[in-house]
């Protein structure tokens, strides 16, 4: 293990919202940094100019901040300016650095200019495949003298810079997830470092950045395992120290295929919009590839940090079970204090145009009633809608009830009873007494009694128990609603 101070990085490409797989990678890096008292760095791999956008970068930064995975170094959300001593933290702003190291490799014979066209490369690969050989580029320019190469460049030709793979040997890492992994050097042919348009390729940027930013441990997705050999060759050629690697297991959908958009929601933003809690999503994805030594499932961020151990990361794939996520979300939701839960709900209610003027005691009563029926924050919208002090919407489903001969008498009697009271709110007992009085007074029972009252309270004949709802609505609101329905 490294004796250097721990420095880990999350290095997304800004091409869209943060995927849950990316969030898991960020989380494991964050947990390890916090557990070891190290630094968590955000680095942006945006050399793919066609797909990378400023908007996507801001979206991913917003997702990370929603998850509360705060980084010690990297671009900040408001102005994308860097914080930290190892910047720039965006690869598109580090081109001069990559060119400097490419020039060093050229001078020392580890790289060369290659003038092969795409057509020549495709034709060569086709021939190699036909001959049953690996389709590795065999450049005729491998031993071209530097003076000749420079003359061709001065004449206007635009070569790539290729890494010259040396004599056959094995490269070995002790992967933190997979144990010893051996890469024979002949797994790859001479590979590109800098494209003909001057843009560096991923493996070259990644190796240089990890070295210059003093990254000690690299937790990343399993699909990056195939990139490791090229990066090891670059570390070796440049005399760089090599970080420790941990290649994380793949996340699968319910059909055991790699998790993708076809499985439904896969971005953190989608889960945020659907009313999931960030702490529940993090808790859930933490267990997709890692397990707690004590077998706990519902854990806070503090507990995850204390418990995180790379030795408990799994090699086997994990299945994204959205039903389990929903269950875990409901547990986290019910564990929130009423103050915390209400503050989160208010944001959603404001968007929906729902208005509540109840005090703290009212909030406690309302949440005591509805919290157990909520799995996500969004579930509160329809649960609380009848309590909103906005104008009552009388649903079409009420028309039949409103046509009954006895309905005006029931609602009229309900209205009179409300006007006779003086308290701000009715109690459950008050409501029961009033309902019994109307039953005797009008001579109705069953649905002909409670459905008209329900329409007068919530604008529709079906819904929550009135004895639970009525004590949460101000008497003046109940009077106003009964008047509206009676006039209808």
Residues 343 and 403 in one domain: no
- Same-domain pairing of 237 and 276: no
Question: Does 133 qualify as catalytic in the annotation?
Answer: no
Residue 162 contacts residue 114 (beta carbons within 8 Å)? yes
Closest by CA to 285, choosing from 274, 297, 273, 272, is 297
Whole-number average pLDDT of the chain: 94
CATH of the domain at 176: 3.40.50.620
The encoded tokens of residue 60 equal 């991913």
Asked if the structure places residue 328 within a domain, the reply is no
122 and 196: one domain? yes
User: What pLDDT does residue 244 have?
Assistant: 98
Percent of the chain residues topping a pLDDT of 70: 98
Assess if residue 177 is contained within a domain.
yes
Express each pLDDT in 4-59 by its tens digit. 899 999 999 998 899 999 999 999 999 999 999 999 999 999 988 778 888 899 99
Judge whether residue 334 has pLDDT over 90: yes
> Of how many residues is the chain composed?
488
Query: Does residue 24 contact residue 248 with C-beta atoms inside 8 Å?
Result: yes
Mean pLDDT of the 84-107 span = 96
How many Å apart are CA 278 and CA 66, to the nearest integer?
7
Domain extent, residue 357, equals 336-387
Residues 156, 113 share a domain: yes
The pLDDT assigned to 264 comes to 61
Which range, of 69-73, 392-396, 405-409, 427-431, averages the lowest pLDDT? 392-396
Instruction: Identify the residue with better confidence: 448 or 488.
Output: 448
Q: Residue 2 above 70 pLDDT?
A: no
Whether 289 is in a domain gets the answer yes
- Joined together, the tokens standing for residue 366 give 């309302």
Which of these three, 248, 279, 294, is where a domain ends? 248
Residue tagged active-site, from 261, 391, 419, 445? 261
98 & 183 share domain: yes
Task: Report pLDDT digits (tens) over 226-277.
Answer: 999 999 999 999 999 999 999 999 999 888 888 876 666 689 999 999 999 9
Using CA atoms, how far residue 59 sits from 55, 62, 91, 220, in Å, is 6, 5, 18, 21
Number of alpha carbons in the 13 Å side-chain half-sphere of residue 103 = 8
pLDDT at 358: 83
Report pLDDT for 80. Answer: 82
Residue 88 domain flag: no
Confidence bin at 348 (pLDDT 50/70/90): very high
How far is the C-alpha of 345 from the C-alpha of 149, rounded, in Å? 65
What integer is the mean pLDDT of 360-370? 95
C-alpha 429: how far from its chain's center? Answer: 47
Same domain flag for 124 and 240: yes
> For residue 393, what pLDDT band results from cuts at 50, 70 and 90?
confident
Which pLDDT does position 257 carry in this prediction?
Answer: 86
* Residues 192-224: tens digit of each pLDDT: 999 999 999 999 999 999 999 999 999 999 999
The number of folded domains in the chain is: 4
pLDDT at position 262 = 64
Question: Omega into 188 within 30° of 0, i.e. cis?
Answer: no
Per-residue pLDDT, 414? 96
Give the domain-ending residue among 191, 219, 248: 248
Asked whether residue 190 falls in the same domain as residue 256, the answer is: no
pLDDT digits (tens, 9 = 90+) for 131-186: 999 999 999 999 999 999 999 999 999 999 999 999 999 999 999 999 999 999 99
- Would you state the pLDDT for residue 260? 74
Q: What CATH number is given to the structural domain containing 451?
A: 1.10.10.350
Q: How many whole angstroms separate alpha carbon 113 and alpha carbon 142?
A: 8
Report whether pLDDT(488) > 90.
no
The two structure tokens encoding residue 38: 């190290």
């Amino acid at each position: 293990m490294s004796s250097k101070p721990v420095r880990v990085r999350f290095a997304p490409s800004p091409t869209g919202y943060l995927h849950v797989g990316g969030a898991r990678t960020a989380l494991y890096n964050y947990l390890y940094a916090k557990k070891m008292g190290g630094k968590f760095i955000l680095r942006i791999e945006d050399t793919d100019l066609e797909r990378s956008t400023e908007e996507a970068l801001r979206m991913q930064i917003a997702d990370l901040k929603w998850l509360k995975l705060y980084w010690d170094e990297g671009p900040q959300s408001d102005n994308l300016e860097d914080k930290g001593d190892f910047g720039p933290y965006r690869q598109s702003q580090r081109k001069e650095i990559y060119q400097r190291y490419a020039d060093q490799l050229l001078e020392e014979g580890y790289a060369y200019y290659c003038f092969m066209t795409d057509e020549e490369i495709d034709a060569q690969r086709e021939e190699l495949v036909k001959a049953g050989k690996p389709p590795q580029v065999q450049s005729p320019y491998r031993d071209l003298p530097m003076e000749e190469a420079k003359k061709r460049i001065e004449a206007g030709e635009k070569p790539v810079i290729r890494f010259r793979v040396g004599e056959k040997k094995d490269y070995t890492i002790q992967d933190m997830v997979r144990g010893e992994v051996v890469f024979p050097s002949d797994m790859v042919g001479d590979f590109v470092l800098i494209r003909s348009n001057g843009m560096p390729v991923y493996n070259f940027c990644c190796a240089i950045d990890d070295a210059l930013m003093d990254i000690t441990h690299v937790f990343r997705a399993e699909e990056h395992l195939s990139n490791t050999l090229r990066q090891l060759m670059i570390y070796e050629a440049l005399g760089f120290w090599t970080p420790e690697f941990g290649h994380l297991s793949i996340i699968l959908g319910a059909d055991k295929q790699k998790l993708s958009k076809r499985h439904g929601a896969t971005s953190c933003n989608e889960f945020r919009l659907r009313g999931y809690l960030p702490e529940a999503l993090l808790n859930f994805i933490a267990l997709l590839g890692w397990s707690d030594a004590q077998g706990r499932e519902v854990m806070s961020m503090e507990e995850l940090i204390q418990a995180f151990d790379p030795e408990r990361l799994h090699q086997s794939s994990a299945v994204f079970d959205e039903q389990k996520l929903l269950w875990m979300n409901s547990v986290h939701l019910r564990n929130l204090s009423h103050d915390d839960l209400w503050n989160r709900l208010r944001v959603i209610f404001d968007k929906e145009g729902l208005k509540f003027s109840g005090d703290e005691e009212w909030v406690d009563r309302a949440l005591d009633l509805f919290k157990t029926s909520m799995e996500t924050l969004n579930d509160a919208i329809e649960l609380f809608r009848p309590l909103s002090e906005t104008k009552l919407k009388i649903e079409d489903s009420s028309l039949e009830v409103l046509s009954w001969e006895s309905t005006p008498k029931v609602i009229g009697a309900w209205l009179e009873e409300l006007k006779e009271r003086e308290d701000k709110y009715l109690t459950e007992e008050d409501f029961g007494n009033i309902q019994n009085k109307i039953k005797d007074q009008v001579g109705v029972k069953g649905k002909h009694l409670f459905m008209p009252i329900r329409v007068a309270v919530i604008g529709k004949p079906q819904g929550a128990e009135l004895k639970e709802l009525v004590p949460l609505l101000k008497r003046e609101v109940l009077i106003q609603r009964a008047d509206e329905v009676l006039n209808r």
